[in-house]
Structure 1
Amino acid sequence: MLALGLVLTSPARAQAETISNPVAVFSGLDKITATITTLQVPINTTKRFGQIEVTPKVCYSRPATEEPKTSTFVEIDEIEEDGSKKRIFTGWMFAESPALNALEHPVFDIWLTSCTDPNKAPEAAPDQGPAPEVAPEDIPQDTD
């Protein structure tokens, strides 16, 4: 009698390229003044927004040819009245799901909007080929 063994394996998943960026871009809402501010914070650098200090540790994105996925690991501290700092957030934020892990504070909200590399030219969208030619008679005329 022959024993036939089957080996089940999971299909290999294609891994999208991850781009590590030197700058994380956040939006900050001051609920007292109803002002939204853009914060561009270099990795491992702290930027103050009101009584909040934001320190991104990494900021990842994907190439323009991949499905968008932008994330950062960030630490956020609140500066107390006596000058001491209290850690109020440590974790991942996702630009495509800002409500998932944004900082919600009684006075300030902070969420990730993007990751950038100011030294790199923006990526072009994938080439779609030449634009179709349009004959002049196919262009609608202005009737006003």
Structure 2
Amino acid sequence: MIRPGLIVLALMAGQPALAQDFAESQAGILRWLDKLTGETADIELLRGQEAVSGRLTIRLDACRYPADNPTSDAQAHLTILDAGVAQPVFEGWMVASSPALSALDHPRYDVWVLRCVTPEPAPQAEETTSEGAGE
């Protein structure tokens, strides 16, 4: 007997995924937590910039956000090094809305993405009127 759920799943597998356009940001904002002391800090990094927090060195490699909704789901590619470990303890994408999806697995520290820094909207130009001109 074929289950109805399997039919739906099979039909969905044949459908193309909807692509979402992402815009690249020049900077991102992360949150760092020391689980031992309870200390937290928000860190704003430019793309390629590093910050040292505790024993961690955190580098923002890229930050992107949905082009049609800049305040929505940010994604950042991070490289995180621990002073006591030769290899990176984390290297990959973190998603702001799902931090557990791809998380730093460290016994003392936690790092997650808050958002990308998005450009400010251009101010609206004030309309000038011809009233009063030449008086």
Question: With structure 2 as the length reference, what TM-score do the two structures score?
Answer: 0.69
1:44 paired to 2:43: no
Query: 1:26 is matched with which residue?
Result: 30
Correspondence 1:80-99 to 2 at 5 A: 80=84, 85-99=86-100
In structure 2, what is the Cα distance between the partners aligned to 1:16 and 1:100? 19
In structure 1, what is the Cα distance between the partners aligned to 2:69 and 2:109? 34
State the one-letter code of the partner of 2:55: Q
Query: 2:120 is matched with which residue?
Result: 121
Give the C-alpha shift of residue 27 in structure 1: 0.7
In our comparison, the structure showing a higher alpha carbon Rg is 1
Which blocks of at least 5 consecutive residues in structure 1 are unaligned? 1-9, 124-144
State the one-letter code of the partner of 1:43: R
Query: 1:63 is matched with which residue?
Result: 67
Which blocks of at least 5 consecutive residues in structure 2 are unaligned? 1-13, 123-135
- Count residues with an aligned counterpart: 109
In structure 2, what is the Cα distance between the partners aligned to 1:102 and 1:72? 12
Give the C-alpha shift of residue 47 in structure 1: 0.7
State the one-letter code of the partner of 1:54: I
CA contact (8 A) 2:89 2:105 kept: no
| Deviates further, 28-37 or 47-56 | 28-37
Instruction: Provide closer, same or farther for how the CA distance between residues 89 and 96 of structure 1 changes in structure 2, counting only shifts above 3 A.
Output: same
In structure 2, what is the Cα distance between the partners aligned to 1:102 and 1:11? 29
Give the C-alpha shift of residue 63 in structure 1: 3.4
Residues 11-62 of structure 1 deviation map (CA, whole Å, 9 limit, x = unaligned): 7765433110011211111112212210111111111111001111110001
Instruction: Provide closer, same or farther for how the CA distance between residues 46 and 85 of structure 1 changes in structure 2, counting only shifts above 3 A.
Output: farther
Query: 1:130 is matched with which residue?
Result: none
Question: With structure 1 as the length reference, what TM-score do the two structures score?
Answer: 0.65
Instruction: Provide closer, same or farther for how the CA distance between residues 31 and 121 of structure 1 changes in structure 2, counting only shifts above 3 A.
Output: same
